[in-house]
């Protein structure tokens, strides 16, 4: 007698079925037209203008940071242009009480959360004062170890949950971060406790020079949420309204006790990986660059706002001027910060200094006073 085939045994079909469900969510197309009316987050006119203002400001901050780095006036810098919708529109959906655990490219979200600009510049210069966050600012310093902020986020989210706070822990990484073990541990742990976390993967297509498709067999990074039993969303990361809508939704679920969400934003970094010598022309073509530039978040949002009579060249120039002035003042403030000394690091490291360090401390103190 021929054995009956079990219909359920179709692992390839099951995978294909899951993958086919992860379609890119979009609200505003490249022409600045609403293509998904039901999903429009319906921001007020003032909110729409503020979101645009922050994105324009952030683009200028990126341009200035690149030139300050070239002049030797900034140290470590990871360019952000192309990622404004992913970074600024997601942050726009957060509240002051939320905790941000950023990667090194996520300086803009920290600034809009309240990190003073001059401190961001000090961080770039490797000055310890850059990492001494003001009281009440719920952020961790930018993480340099790829993906490490995922497990930390699961911990912060659990802490918020235990204290019954109506707040979320939000972390950002790139596509490369999702290739790290920490990524899986973090989303799984937060999922099992249904902790209030949002895990944000900005898929800017490359981990330095490695294309994201070479990092995984998965069709999307968002689908990795399925194995952790949490919702995963694939979103157009160049569309500010779509990014805002999915983040607001994820935050609501998190504070309502419904657990974490994984969000993958499809975006592009226009510049090099960092300013430390990466040459993107060695792994990307100018055709690919210009295809992504057509999707630019500022261009499409500008078109959308201009059609509603909410934005103009004049308004944009005002923002640019304000950004330039504030950046100039912040650089000056960073310049005026006393240089860090070896004894500074010893002083801030220990509540009570061990005996062997006390001796070294005295030696350095004498040297530094010369
Ligand atoms: C654990 C660890 N491994 C390797 C590196 C070296 N490294 C620095 S940036 C980077 C690529 C990260 O790419 P991605 O997560 O996609 O973020 P992006 O830079 O694109 O924002 C790597 C491998 C590191 N910093 N930490």
Number of CB atoms found within 10 A of residue 120's CB = 21
Ligand 1 neighbour 259 (Cβ under 6 A): no
Average pLDDT over residues 11-31: 97
| β 210-211/206-207 pair status | antiparallel
Cα of 251 from ligand 1 centre, angstroms: 26
> Which pLDDT does position 276 carry in this prediction?
96
CB 221 within 8 A of CB 264: yes
Catalytic residues: 269, 273, 283
Q: Is 144 in the pocket of ligand 1 (CB under 6 A)?
A: yes
Give the pLDDT band (50/70/90) at residue 92: very high
What are the residues whose beta carbons fall under 8 Å from the beta carbon of 171, sequence distance 6 or more? 100, 101, 102, 149, 150, 152, 153, 186, 197, 198, 199, 200
CA 342 to centroid of ligand 1, rounded, Å: 29
| Tokens representing residue 211 in the block | 């294309």
Contact at 8 Å (CB) between 161 and 195? yes
**DSSP state letters, 8-66:** T--HHHHHHHHHHT-PPB-SB-TTS-BS-GGG-----HHHHHHHHHHHHHHHHHHHHHH
The first and second tokens of residue 235, run together, are 């979103």
**pLDDT at position 370:** 85
In whole angstroms, give the CA distance from residue 172 to residue 179. Answer: 14
Q: Which residues of 9-37 are buried (b: 16+ CB within 10 A; e: fewer)?
A: eeeeeeeeebeeebebbbbbbbebeeeee
Alpha helix ranges (H) inside the chain: 11-20, 45-70, 84, 90-92, 107-113, 117-124, 148-162, 181-193, 224-228, 240-255, 286-293, 297-307, 313-335, 342-349, 355-368
Nearest partner of 102 among 161, 177, 187, 51, judged by Cα: 177
pLDDT tens track for 161-201? 999 999 999 999 999 999 999 999 999 999 999 999 999 99
If we measure between CA atoms, which residue out of 114, 113, 111, 102 comes closest to residue 64? Answer: 111
Could you identify the atom of ligand 1 that is nearest to the CA of residue 269? 20
3 state SS of 235: strand
- Please provide residue 281's backbone torsions phi and psi, each rounded to the nearest 5 degrees: -65, -15
Domains of the chain: 16-337 (3.40.50.970), 340-370 (no CATH)
CA distance 226 to 238: 24
Q: Among all chains, which residue has been given the structure tokens 């944009």?
A: 316
**Which among 256, 253, 245, 267 has a CA at the least distance from the CA of 172?**
267
CB 352 within 8 A of CB 341: no
Question: Best mutation site among 106, 146, 270 for ligand 1, i.e. most ligand atoms within 8 A of its Cβ?
Answer: 146
For ligand 1, is residue 204 a contact (CB within 6 Å)?
Answer: yes
What pLDDT digit, counting tens, does each position of 264-279 carry?
999 999 999 999 999 9
> Does any ligand 1 atom lie closer than 6 A to the CB of residue 208?
yes
Of the pLDDT bands very low, low, confident and very high (cuts 50, 70, 90), residue 6 is: low
Summarised one tens digit per residue, pLDDT across range 95-130 is 999 999 999 999 999 999 999 999 999 999 999 999
């Amino acid at each position: 007698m021929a054995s009956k085939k079990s219909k359920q045994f179709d692992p390839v079909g099951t995978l294909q079925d899951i993958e086919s469900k992860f379609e890119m969510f979009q609200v505003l197309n490249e022409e600045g037209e609403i293509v998904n009316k039901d999903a429009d987050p319906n921001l007020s006119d003032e909110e729409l203008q503020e979101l645009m203002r922050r994105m324009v400001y952030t683009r200028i901050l990126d341009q200035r940071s690149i030139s300050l780095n070239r002049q030797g006036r900034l140290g470590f810098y990871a360019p952000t242009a192309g990622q404004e919708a992913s970074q600024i529109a997601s942050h726009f959906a957060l509240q002051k009480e939320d905790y941000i655990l950023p990667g090194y490219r996520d300086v803009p979200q920290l600034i809009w959360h309240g990190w003073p600009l001059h401190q961001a510049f000090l961080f770039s210069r490797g000055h310890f004062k850059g990492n001494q966050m003001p009281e009440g600012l719920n952020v961790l310093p930018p993480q340099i170890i790829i993906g490490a902020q995922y497990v930390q986020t699961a911990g912060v989210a659990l802490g918020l949950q235990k204290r019954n706070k109506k707040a979320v822990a939000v972390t950002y990484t790139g596509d490369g971060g999702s290739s790290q073990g920490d990524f899986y541990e973090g989303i799984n742990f937060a999922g099992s406790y249904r902790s209030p976390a949002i895990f944000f993967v900005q898929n800017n297509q490359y981990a330095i020079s490695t294309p994201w498709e070479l990092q995984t067999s998965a069709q999307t990074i968002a689908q990795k949420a399925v194995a952790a039993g949490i919702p995963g969303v694939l979103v157009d990361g160049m569309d500010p309204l779509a990014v805002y809508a999915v983040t607001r939704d994820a935050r609501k679920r998190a504070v309502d006790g419904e657990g974490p969400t994984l969000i993958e934003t499809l975006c592009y970094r226009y510049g090099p990986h960092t300013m430390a010598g990466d040459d993107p022309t060695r792994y990307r073509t100018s055709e690919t660059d210009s295809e992504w530039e057509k999707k630019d978040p500022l261009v499409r949002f500008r078109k959308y706002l201009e059609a509603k009579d909410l934005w103009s060249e004049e308004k944009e120039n005002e923002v640019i001027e304000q950004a330039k002035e504030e950046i100039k003042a912040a650089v000056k403030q960073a310049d005026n910060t006393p240089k860090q000394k070896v004894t500074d690091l010893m002083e801030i490291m220990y509540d009570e200094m061990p005996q062997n360090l006390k001796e070294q401390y005295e030696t350095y103190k004498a040297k530094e006073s010369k």
